[in-house]
Amino acid sequence: MSEPSRFATALPNETATAHLMADLALLVGAGDVITLSGDLGAGKTSAARAMIRYLAGDDTIEVPSPTFTLAQHYDLPSYPLLHADLYRISGPGELEEIGLAPMPEGTVVLIEWPERAAGGLPADRIDIAISHRPALGSGARAAEITGYGKAAAQVARLAALRRFLDDAGYLHAERRRMAGDASTRSYARLIRGDTSFILMNAPKRPDGPAIHGGKSYSAAVHLAEDVKPFVAIGRGLRDHGFSAPAIHHADLESGFLITEDFGSTGFVEGTPPAPIIERYQAAADLLAALHGRTLPDTLPVTADTTYTIPVFDLEAMLIEVGLLLEWYLIDRGIEPGEDLRAEFMAIWRALLAKPDAASKTWVLRDFHSPNLIWLEQRQDIGKVGLIDFQDTVLGPATYDLVSLLQDARVDVPESLEIALFTRYVKARLESEARFDPAGFAELYAIISAQRNTRLLGTFARLNRRDGKPHYLRHQPRIWTYLTRSLAHPALSAARAWYRNHVPPPAG
């Protein structure tokens, strides 16, 4: 077991306590256990309350002390949370009665008075020991934060984050929770005066074990495993006149950034959300402009280092579609045998030969509504703010157009998809006389089928491996898009295979 990691910090007032707990909330996730120790009145419940309110995004939510109820449950946007108080129990044997033996899965657990159950708590946990510091003021506290077992790395990262914020001048900025995404990154808004900034926490981390020729899934399909690609691609986009957020402070080794805040004006509206046509048109225009340019494949990260954009090659595309076999079909009760797997991969190897051989451009890869911010004050395609591009690869121009027009999280009517596709093609023809609309349409159908096949598997994996079941609600939409693309004559073999072997999503 790793050695404990610890650091101490002063908490001169409740605001400082709230900042510490918000910073910790940025780094923890479902399954983590945080214990709060200290004398009566030390501020344990205040610290728990601050964290719960931050995670809820609501400073007014009622967070009573669980001294009498022993445990309080909260269904928070990111994950459920259990707030427990062990003051009234006599030993670890009573943990089971309040739902703490075993610890609840998929839940963050906050425990006050952990010493009452000494020996019954997980070896992997974060402890925050709070003590009075009357010499510094009546409300002053100090906290010693210790990470045990696997949590030692989290506490070391918390200490690094606090140093980064202090060095950048944001330690005392107000924190506001932001929704996360499907990655390991997490975000917060930092409010300083009348200006807000975005704090990005992007730890170095491969996505999955090394099972793809000795590489993790993220390495094999060229997903960013640290923050450097974000810095390089962002600078490249800005240099070419596109709206990517400026970076104000960076710790490239630890993976912390403070960036420009584009706000939250999106590309959809209503319930259920639907595309705002004018904004989708601007996004399609941006792609036509991007794809019509000659772009470099190597970009500076710092004055001394560069980043080479990886090629989205045939093997990477095949590994992506393989998620259907590994995750989606298993979820649907099908265990594909070797013959079925071989048929599937042979069909896809033949299909993907064309996009693999097509001319390459920057593929931002997650070019869809959650990652596009409308910047009303800017001009033309500069109104399209880009915030998620660290996974950029060199690949077929059709990929990002599919991402936009077959939005995984929003229903894009087929009539609008066709209209925007036509708009894009017209723009490309105006600037490139040799542009081939029919060939582009075929590549669009192939990449659509590839991307939506991958998404069926990805969303199944996010549910089963990462505890994010809300992604399953998008699978029926993905199935609709997939059905559209499989109707293209070039995909007849794939269409027959899917009809025979791939059931639609449940529900």
| Per-position DSSP letters for 181-240, written without gaps between them | -SSS-EEEEEEETTEEEEEEE-----SS-S-BTTB-HHHHTT--SSSHHHHHHHHHHHHT
Q: What percent of the chain has pLDDT over 70?
A: 99
Torsion from C-alpha of 448, 454, 457, 460, nearest 10 degrees: -70
Q: With 90 as the cut, is the pLDDT of residue 433 above it?
A: no
> Mind listing the pLDDT tens digit for each residue in 104-114?
988 999 999 99
Whether the pLDDT of residue 202 is over 60: the answer is yes
Q: How many CB atoms lie within 10 A of CB 487?
A: 12
DSSP annotation of 115: G
Q: What's 42's DSSP letter?
A: S
pLDDT of residue 181: 65
- In this prediction, residues 338-365 reach a mean pLDDT of 97
Q: What's the average model confidence in pLDDT over 481-487?
A: 96
Kindly state the tokens that stand for 313: 């090659």
Q: Model confidence over 168-200: pLDDT tens digits?
A: 999 999 999 998 765 678 999 999 999 999 999
**CA–CA distance, 361 with 391 (Å, rounded to integer):** 13
Average per-residue pLDDT for the chain: 94
Lowest model confidence (mean pLDDT) among 122-126, 178-182, 270-274, 494-498: 178-182
pLDDT digits (tens, 9 = 90+) for 384-423: 999 999 999 999 999 999 999 999 999 999 999 999 999 9
Cβ–Cβ under 8 Å, residues 40 and 132: no
**Could you say which DSSP state residue 40 is in?**
T
Candidate from 369-383, 448-462, 465-479 with smallest mean pLDDT: 465-479
Residue 223 has pLDDT above 80, yes or no: yes
DSSP secondary structure, 134-151, as one string? GGG-TT-EEEEEEEETTH
pTM: 0.92
End-to-end Cα separation, the chain, in angstroms: 44
Please list, in sequence order, all residues whose beta carbon lies within 8 angstroms of the beta carbon of residue 113, skipping any fewer than 6 positions away: 37, 44, 85, 86, 87
pLDDT higher than 80, residue 139:
no
Long-range own/partner contacts, residues 346-349 (CB < 8 A, 24 or more apart): 347/493, 347/494, 347/497, 348/317, 348/318, 348/321, 348/450, 348/494, 349/314, 349/318
pLDDT grade for 133, boundaries at 50, 70 and 90:
confident
Residues of the chain above pLDDT 90, percent: 87
Residue 347, Cβ neighbours under 10 Å: how many? 18
- What are 27-59's pLDDT values in tens digits? 999 999 999 999 998 999 999 999 999 999 999
Q: Which residue has the higher pLDDT, 138 or 227?
A: 227
Answer yes or no: are the C-beta atoms of 44 and 38 closer than 8 Å.
yes
